[in-house]
Amino acid sequence: MAGFLHETNSFAHGLTGLRAFQAADAWPGMLRGDEVLTGFGPANIAIAGFLETAKNKGWQMAPLLWCSAGPSGVVERGTFETVVADLLSRLEQAMPVDAVFLDLHGAMVSEAETDADGALLARVRAVVGPDVPVVAALDFHANVSVRMVTEADLLTFYRTYPHVDIADTGQRAAEYLATFLGGDRPMKALRSMPFLLPLGTQDTIDGPLAAVMAEIRELGHAAGAIVEIAAGFPLADTFEAGPAVLVYAREKAVAEVVADEAAMAFGRRENEFSLKMMSPREAVAVAQEAKHRHGPLLLIDTQDNPGGGATGDTVGLLRAMIEGGCRKAALGVLFDPETAQQAHKVGVGSDFVVSLGAESQPGQELPFKGRAKVVALGDGRFTGTGPFYHGCDFSLGPMACLEIGGMRVVVSSVRQQAADQAMFRHVGVEPADTKILALKSSVHYRADFDAIACDTIIVKSPGLNTANPADLTYRNLRPGVRVAGGDLIRRGA
């Protein structure tokens, strides 16, 4: 069993190196050998769910390694090769094995391999041979390639966005693997959709994807087939980017028929995947005029979501909120290690001059400059309490709550999307007590913040988590792919 996860934003600046996989954030840093057996606790992580089921079944584990890096730019060639070589070396030493479980993302891109997950699966298969079952748990945003499907006996994806079922996916993978140990192997059929889904339209709570998935799963149930659905990650510039349906059945003909029917069902709803956004000033004006019957109005800074590879330090929405006179308001989580350090140096109750944010993309915008009062400080170590990050031990470095222009700003030293109320409470902000709450997230915030919100506005402010794929220029995407609803894809050489 092993894990190597990265959601690659091909349009983010810089490369992702080994340090990113070694460091802890909401998930553990790199684990090797027996560390894999004890490093997760009750966290909502696929390999943790797999381990729980495997232990209940009495399986003898051969833990190899596990590592994950936050969404960011393309993975360095040397980093990818170093991790894969370590994993394969440990696998070779563990041979012979009865089966292999892999915890992957499905949208990793390295300098050498645009289909990095497919390359890893192929190299694992080369070690274990054709007869050893290989099952992988993958993210809902996986970009599924033919190579991935070919090299694995079964791929199973998270079924929710927000991903509240990550550990459940690992448990499901273990159950599938148990059936394969008896020699049963399914036939496969893959259908890739000819469009990209904007990330903000992929929620499975009440968006069109929820209806699509329900219809497709019913098709599979009626045919006695397993249907797996991936929504795709449109910010990974790969040949296979986009949503896909994967069907497993005892008979090839059944798998092919169900896959065709599922693809048609998906296609019928293509035009429903649209994302409505407001500019920061428009959003602030609406929020100020809204009647707040209960809980905060959420302003979602989706394009600066670190969970999609953005820098987490743009200040367009912050500036609009301050200039718009927002009171009883908060924004988080803004990545600015230097400001966090300054706040810790001057201490709670002190005022100091800040040059906040806008450091990761020089020339794109100016930092926010002004005076700030330090309201609270934190060491960045706390445990997630919401459905998505429940049980995860955060390590976000020095954190601070600053009061600027009558509102509060939560600053961290490690990039992290605002998807758990514990991030605010760690520095003394109770989200439910705010009138306006700005979150750097896209969809994951819904798992923990929907319950307290009176309304939500999606804001189009600067950031590298580009909301509409039509605003990007692709170089590797297969021909004939469009944005859902018909917007054309720009292509470069």
Per-residue pLDDT, 192: 98
**Domain co-membership, 103 together with 219:** yes
170-204: pLDDT as tens digits: 999 999 999 999 888 999 999 999 999 999 999 99
The answer to whether the CB of 226 falls within 8 A of the CB of 250 is no
Which segment of 215-229, 282-296, 475-489 scores lowest on mean pLDDT?
282-296
CA angle 463, 299, 139 (to 5 degrees): 60
Per-residue pLDDT, 52: 97
220-279: pLDDT as tens digits: 999 999 999 999 999 999 999 999 999 999 999 999 999 999 999 999 999 999 999 999
CA atoms within 13 A on the CB side of 419: 25
**Domain co-membership, 115 together with 194:** yes
**Domain co-membership, 377 together with 431:** yes
**Domain co-membership, 259 together with 365:** no
The answer, yes or no, to whether residue 68 has pLDDT greater than 80, is yes
The answer, yes or no, to whether residue 293 has pLDDT greater than 80, is no
Mean of pLDDT over the chain: 97
What does the H/E/C string look like for the chain? Answer: CEEEEEEECCCCCCCECHHHHHCCCCCCCCEECCHHHHCCCCCCCHHHHHHHHHHHCCCCCCCCEEEEEEEECCECHHHHHHHHHHHHHHHHHHCCCCCEEEEECCCCCECCCCCHHHHHHHHHHHHHCCCCCEEEEECCCCCCCHHHHHHCCEEEECCCCCCCCHHHHHHHHHHHHHHHCCCCCCEEEEEECCEECCHHHCCCCCCHHHHHHHHHHHHHHHHCCEEEEECCCCCCCCCCCCCEEEEEECCHHHHHHHHHHHHHHHHHCHHHCCCCCECHHHHHHHHHHCCCCCCCEEEEEHHHCHHHCCCCCCCHHHHHHHHCCCCCEEEEEEECHHHHHHHHHHCCCCEEEEEECCCCCCCCCCCEEEEEEEEEEECCEEECCCCCCCCCEEECCCEEEEEECCEEEEEECCCCCCCCCHHHHCCCCCHHHCCEEEECCCCCCHHHHHHHCCEEEEECCCCCCCCCHHHCEECCCCCCCEECCCCCCEECC
**Domain end: 218, 252, 272, which one?**
272
**Domain end: 216, 249, 272, which one?**
272
Per-residue pLDDT, 476: 97
349: confidence class by pLDDT, cuts 50, 70, 90:
very high
Whether 477 is covered by a domain: the verdict is no
Per-residue pLDDT, 75: 99
Whether 485 is covered by a domain: the verdict is no
Distance between CA atoms of 359 and 368, rounded to whole angstroms? 11
**Domain co-membership, 160 together with 40:** yes
**Domain co-membership, 56 together with 181:** yes
Whether 25 is covered by a domain: the verdict is yes
Number of domains in the chain: 2
**Domain co-membership, 249 together with 338:** no
Whether 41 is covered by a domain: the verdict is yes
Whether 154 is covered by a domain: the verdict is yes
112-159: pLDDT as tens digits: 999 999 999 999 999 999 999 999 999 999 999 999 999 999 999 999
**Domain co-membership, 422 together with 444:** yes
Mean pLDDT throughout 378-401? 97
**Domain co-membership, 257 together with 324:** no
Whether 18 is covered by a domain: the verdict is yes
Share of the chain above pLDDT 90, in %: 95
Higher-confidence residue of 364 and 378: namely: 378
Mean pLDDT throughout 279-304? 93
Q: Cβ–Cβ contacts within 10 Å for residue 410, how many?
A: 27
Whether 75 is covered by a domain: the verdict is yes
Q: Cβ–Cβ contacts within 10 Å for residue 325, how many?
A: 12
Per-residue pLDDT, 87: 99
**Domain co-membership, 416 together with 334:** yes
Per-residue pLDDT, 358: 85
Whether 455 is covered by a domain: the verdict is yes
**Domain co-membership, 241 together with 355:** no
Which segment of 216-230, 284-298, 440-454 scores lowest on mean pLDDT?
284-298
4-41: pLDDT as tens digits: 999 999 999 999 999 999 999 999 999 999 999 999 99
Strands 187-192 and 244-249: antiparallel
Per-residue pLDDT, 290: 86
Range(s) of the domain holding residue 394: 280-467
362: confidence class by pLDDT, cuts 50, 70, 90:
low
The answer, yes or no, to whether residue 292 has pLDDT greater than 80, is no
The answer, yes or no, to whether residue 322 has pLDDT greater than 90, is yes
The answer, yes or no, to whether residue 110 has pLDDT greater than 70, is yes
**Domain end: 272, 301, 322, which one?**
272
**Domain co-membership, 287 together with 266:** no
